[in-house]
Structure 1
Amino acid sequence: MNLVVKGYKKINGIKMYYEIYGSGKPLVLIHGGAGSIRFDFKEIIPRLENQFQLIGIDLQNHGMTEHRNIPETFEQDAKDVAALLKEINIGKASFWGFSNGGNTVMQIAHLFS
């Protein structure tokens, strides 16, 4: 895997962890419940990093992102993802989420409809 960028951004009161691989059209990877970017997409990243700019995000209370004392909801996760993408200057992207990540992606679509 050719990691281009990794880091944290302060988003809605927590430090959110993200990684960026490759170049091309942005494809945001949203993990499932109890997962993380490195765990859930470790087989996918090497296969797609030559075709897309992959942006993996650990959601609140997952992976390397901080914990927060509010209920986890798909709507909050969607707001966090949208704010993080704005912070790293991604204005338009495709999304790949599965399980809980799929629900988060549907909430992102709802936010922007």
Structure 2
Amino acid sequence: MPKIDCNGISLYYEVYGTGIPILVIWGIGGEILPFIESLKQKAHGLYQIINFDTRGSGRSDKPDREYSIEMMADDTASLMDSLNIRSAHILGISTGSRIALSLASRYPNKVKSLILHVAAARSPGSDEPEAQEVYDRLYNTMIMPGFMEKALLYPPTIPSFKRLFKALVTFNGVQLLSSIHVPTRIINTTSDRSTPVSMAQELHEKIWRSQLILLDGDHMIARTDPEQITDHVMVFLKSLETSK
């Protein structure tokens, strides 16, 4: 089981193939196997895929201290250094999109491009009551004893989930967006009740020359239709290579 010491903790990671690195940052639910399998197949021979479990999740350490999105961005940068990856395309999914935004702001030289899926720079506010209700329902469901063990392959513990969720809801990266100047593609959906279209539009409007794609689907599309997402990922990356 590959683990590596990064930023004072041990992170579980996996590396597939060779080529230009694509670093995948998962959401709180952790690894999405159909998505990573699809990405591996399409990237074969062109890109190296690296994915890892963030602190507090999966097979990585779950230290008993407060977490933050910025801290997890520092973890990611440390992982890249430990694996001798100078820079990579960064693919952030859900909570991973916020870690990706923080990484791009804090370590711009490490980020070749950003691909942000079911992404937002912040959690819902008082003017988005439906999305806030979804957040509350998710939290209450996930902390039910035994639920995560049934729903997720490598679940966080209830205490580490609470720390991850707090990091998620207290992060506001809107002020970071204007500082991001790498090619960025936002791939969100039209029926994501936790991440309204307005949040994708906010990213698009504030990130320099970003691209916005809205697909039919909800927050789980990377699980239910991974091919559609990985197709958009590969088209974007190939467009960057041909534009050089």
> What is the aligned counterpart of 2:97 among 90, 95, 102?
102
Q: Which moved more, 1:18-27 or 1:36-45?
A: 36-45
Which letter does structure 1 place at the counterpart of 2:61? E
Which letter does structure 2 place at the counterpart of 1:20? V
CA gap of 1:9–1:38, structure 2 versus 1, over 3 A, is farther
Give the C-alpha shift of residue 44 in structure 1: 2.6
Contact 1:32 / 1:99 at 8 angstroms: preserved in 2? yes
Give the TM-score normalised by the residue count of structure 1.
0.84
Does the alignment pair 1:17 with 2:12?
A: yes
Give the C-alpha shift of residue 41 in structure 1: 2.7
Aligned residues: 108
Question: Aligned-residue CA RMSD in angstroms?
Answer: 1.8
Does the alignment pair 1:61 with 2:61?
A: no
Give the C-alpha shift of residue 18 in structure 1: 0.7
Higher helix share: 2
> What is the aligned counterpart of 1:87 among 74, 82, 89?
82
CA gap of 1:46–1:8, structure 2 versus 1, over 3 A, is same
Higher strand share: 1
CA gap of 1:59–1:74, structure 2 versus 1, over 3 A, is same
Give the TM-score normalised by the residue count of structure 2.
0.41
**Aligned twin of 1:44:** 39
In the TM superposition, structure 1's runs of 4+ consecutive aligned residues that sit over 4 Å from their partners are 37-40
- Percent identical pairs in the alignment equals 28
Unaligned 5+ segments in structure 2 are 109-244
Q: Which has the higher contact order (CA 8 A, sep 6+)?
A: 1
Unaligned 5+ segments in structure 1 are 1-5
Contact 1:78 / 1:104 at 8 angstroms: preserved in 2? yes
Q: What is the alpha-carbon distance in structure 2 between the residues aligned to residue 20 and residue 45 of structure 1?
A: 10
The structure with the largest alpha-carbon Rg is 2
> What is the aligned counterpart of 2:72 among 66, 69, 77?
77
